[in-house]
Amino acid sequence: MSQEKFYITTPIYYVNDKPHIGHAYTTILADVLARYNRSLDAPTFFLTGTDEHGQKVQKAAEAKGISPLEQCNDTVIRFQELWRELEITNDKFIRTTDGAHKKVVQEILQDLFDRDLIYKDEYSGYYCVPCERFFTEKDIDENKCCPECQRDIQEIVESNYFFRMSQYQEWLIDYIKTNPEFIQPAFRANETLGFLKQPLGDLCISRPKSRLSWGIELPFDNDYVCYVWFDALINYISGVGFNQNDEQFKKWWPASYHLIGKDILTTHTVYWPTMMKAIGIELPRTIYAHGWWLTGRDKMSKSLGNVVNPMEMIQKYGVDSFRYFLMAEMTLGQDASFTEEAFVNRYNSDLANDLGNLLSRVVKMNLRHRDGLIPQPNAYTKAEKTLMAAVDNAVEEMEKAIVDMRLNQGIDHVMNAVRAGNRYMEQTAPWTLAKKGDNERLDTVLYCAAEALRKVSVLLHPVMPGKMADLRKALGLSGEKLDNCHIGDLKKNDNILSGLEMNDIDALFLRVKLEEIEAIKLEPPKPAKKKQKAEKKVELPEGVITIDDFFKTELRTAKILEAEKVKGADKLLKLQIEVGDEQRQLIAGIAEFYSPEDIIGKVVVVVANLKPAKIRGVESQGMLLAAKTGKDLKIVTVDGEFPSGATVG
């Protein structure tokens, strides 16, 4: 691989809530790629940070009765703590509330305004007050309802500032077509090209302070703040010295990779390139969109209570195995499923059985038969050549995998080499060689197995820095040799190990018994509306609740997709329901009143934020509403045709 500089970024994360597995994944991926590039001697810069302006953050602050900046300061610590725990080696952490970033955003705004690339115009649209979102004529139907929450929507006329994004449409289409590496994987480029088949409008880049005050003030009109995405995307250049340090900017820009999740493709592949074109800077080499982590087969969502908390995984299984699982399990670009069972299975088979076992065999044999000193090898036989070929193949494949963003396949090749190491031990049986007193062969076998582990430790170091350092210590690599994890050096085949003294080591990875582990606590579902902190306590008559109490229950419409009886339970039906874009399973005690055929297709009302429970051993994610008299029961449905996922209340 060339020594080209490597500049990698993650999205900057909203500070309305604490970090989850999706944030951890992208940041670990960026970290692993940064570490690989450093190990190939490429000058490397890794930027991550937090997106601190805008409505989400302002709303989260309001819900807690604190200022938006307090909300940012409280939450940013959670991200920084997690990155420390995860051993993330970012070179800079940018916050969009940093003075330097704000200054760059304002300079860019002023420059575009001066060059008439930003103009003021009257904007008419539809505004949903509860959702605080704007919609255009084409988003809404003839009932003039909010497409998100189905509530009444207001037609409003508002003056705003617009970026002349539309004028770059043809240029952008051409750029994407002629630069196939610009949007990756390729099917995401097609998605953006599909989006660009519609006429591209100009981008509204302001918000009147009367509606949203938490943002960077427009330098040419202090009644407005900047739209959060326009501010946030600029972090990729303000973070490496744009308009502040020309030398630094020239050194790192254009970025090698912007890593993003698939949901923020349009902002990165349409808004950002047109902004860069207007600003007059080169475009990054690649915008890479990865897929989503699902919990089992479901989307992670707070209301389902299935969001995986990375801190809990780290506390339970350790940093390195968590990093390893995320990197090994996800095929870049596609969605992946997270379950604790899959985690434990991979942990046991790859780490405890294959890698841990090989290390422990090699160390024990050396301690027992060579006082821990790694011997000089003698002539290689076919067995040694086969093992070394598997290891060298892993080195080559890993290098290619990093360039082609197929990290999980690179890891697979390394694990194949580890398994070849275990086969080699069984085939050459050093314990028998020792018994027979065949010292020549024993020396070669002990050396070769250790050499295979040394190379594996370099290849896996970016993924598991802590455990690979332990493994190297066990091999007797200390001081500078411990730190020298340069992938480039692996091809030299120098004899580094002979004469080093091995150190005994407890199991590198302790086996975990799935039946004995307590499932990780998933995030408890959050109530839809939060009480204001500053709210005064008012005595209520008994049995009376406040509107806030009512809104703790998240009622939503749901469509029944499938229904079947629960075996051995006469009163229960198992339902598969659709709640907006989520699919859930729900158990309802209605089998005496409805047959499965009666209710398939009905749009009903469910409690969407109920803690999932097991009913007769079957998981139920929510509760269906029904009206009941002594002996009759009718489920609550909505009047006429209606979409699922709509708020009821």
Give 3-state DSSP helix, strand, coil % of the chain, rounded to 5.
45, 20, 35
Closest distance to ligand MSP from the beta carbon of 332 (Å): 12
Residue closer to ligand MSP (CB basis): 231 or 350: 231
Whole-Å CA distances, 363 to 28, 355, 478: 30, 12, 15
Binders of ligand MSP among residues 15 to 74 (CB under 6 A) are 22-23, 25-26, 51
Smallest separation, CB 45 to ligand MSP (Å):
17
Report how far apart the first and last C-alpha atoms of the chain are (Å, whole number): 59
Counts of helices then strands in the chain (DSSP H, E): 23, 27
Write down the least CB distance from residue 72 to ligand MSP, Å. 12
Site membership for ligand MSP, residue 12 (CB under 6 A): yes
Task: Tell me which stretch binds ligand MSP (CB under 6 A): 5-13, 173-181, 466-474, 596-604.
Answer: 5-13
Specify the residue, 285 or 559, whose C-beta has the smaller distance to ligand MSP: 285
Pick 52 or 384: Cβ nearer ligand MSP:
52
Could you say which of 6, 7, 11, 447 contacts ligand MSP (CB under 6 A)? Answer: 11
Binding of ligand MSP by 260 (CB under 6 A): yes
How crowded is residue 250: how many other Cβ atoms within 10 Å of its Cβ?
Answer: 10
| CB nearer to ligand MSP: pick between 293 and 324 | 293
Contact region for ligand MSP (CB under 6 A) — 257-265, 389-397, 409-417, 575-583? 257-265
Binding of ligand MSP by 603 (CB under 6 A): no
Q: Does 13 bind ligand MSP (CB under 6 A)?
A: yes
In whole angstroms, the minimum distance from the beta carbon of 149 to ligand MSP comes to 20
Least spacing, CB of residue 582 vs ligand MSP, in Å: 13
Q: Please name the residue ranges forming H helices in 512-594.
A: 547-551
Shortest reach from residue 129's CB to ligand MSP, in Å:
23
Residue nearest to ligand MSP (CB): 261
Interacting span for ligand MSP (CB under 6 A) from 166-174, 255-263, 557-565, 595-603: 255-263
- If phi > 0 it is left, if psi is from -120 to 50 it is alpha, else beta; for residue 18 that is beta
Asked if 394 contacts 414 with a C-beta cutoff of 8 angstroms, the reply is yes
Q: Which of 41, 114, 263, 548 binds ligand MSP (CB under 6 A)?
A: 263
25 or 325: CB nearest ligand MSP: 25
Site for ligand MSP contains 293 (CB under 6 A): yes
Task: Select from 220, 207, 253, 250 the least CA-distant residue to 109.
Answer: 220
Contact (CB, 8 A) for 584 and 595: no
Whether 68 contacts 123, CB under 8 Å:
no
512 to 321, 347, 466, 515, 517: CA distances (angstroms): 12, 8, 19, 9, 8
By CB under 6 A, tell whether 83 contacts ligand MSP. no
Q: Which is nearer to ligand MSP, 14 or 182 (CB)?
A: 14
Among 93, 292, 380, 431, which residue interacts with ligand MSP (rule: CB under 6 A)? 292
Q: How far apart are CA 371 and CA 359, in angstroms?
A: 16
Q: Which of 499, 280, 287 is nearest to 377 (CA)?
A: 499
Q: Which is nearer to ligand MSP, 209 or 262 (CB)?
A: 262
Q: Which two tokens stand for residue 214?
A: 């938490």
Please list the residues that pair with 152 across neighbouring strands: 145
Return the residue of 264, 415, 475, 563 that touches ligand MSP, per CB under 6 A.
264
Which residues, in sequence order, are CB contacts of 546 under 8 Å at separation 6+? 538, 540
Q: Is 310 in the site for ligand MSP (CB under 6 A)?
A: no
Give the residue with the Cβ less far from ligand MSP, 264 or 463: 264
Instruction: Provide, rounded to whole angstroms, the least separation between the CB of residue 300 and ligand MSP.
Output: 5
- Closest approach of ligand MSP to the CB of residue 9, in Å: 8
Q: By CB under 6 A, how many residues form the interface with ligand MSP?
A: 19
Alpha helix (H) ranges present in 286-406? 310-317, 319-329, 340-346, 357-370, 382-403
Q: How far apart are CA 471 and CA 466, in angstroms?
A: 9
Q: With binding defined as CB under 6 A, does residue 14 bind ligand MSP?
A: yes
Calculated CA dihedral for residues 155, 161, 167, 173, nearest 10 degrees: -70
Q: Which is nearer to ligand MSP, 234 or 394 (CB)?
A: 234
Distance in angstroms (rounded) separating the CA atoms of residues 412 and 588: 44
Nearer to ligand MSP, 275 or 314 (CB): 275
Per-residue DSSP letter, 256: S
Report the relative pairing of strands 154-163 and 118-128 from DSSP bridges: antiparallel
Residues 6+ apart with CB under 8 A from 104: 234, 237, 238, 242, 243, 244
Nearer to ligand MSP, 233 or 401 (CB): 233
User: Which pair of tokens denotes residue 73?
Assistant: 């300061």
Interface with ligand MSP includes 343 (CB under 6 A)?
no
Residue of 261, 284, 410, 476 interacting with ligand MSP (CB under 6 A): 261
Going residue by residue from 205 to 244, which x/- string records binding to ligand MSP, judged by CB under 6 A?
---------------------------xx-x---------
Six-digit token string for 173 = 């289409």
**Closer residue to ligand MSP in complex, CB, 272/317:** 272
Question: What is the chain's length?
Answer: 649
* Residue among 90 and 348 whose Cβ is closer to ligand MSP: 90
Binding site for ligand MSP (CB under 6 A): 11-14, 22-23, 25-26, 51, 232-233, 235, 260-261, 263-264, 292-293, 300
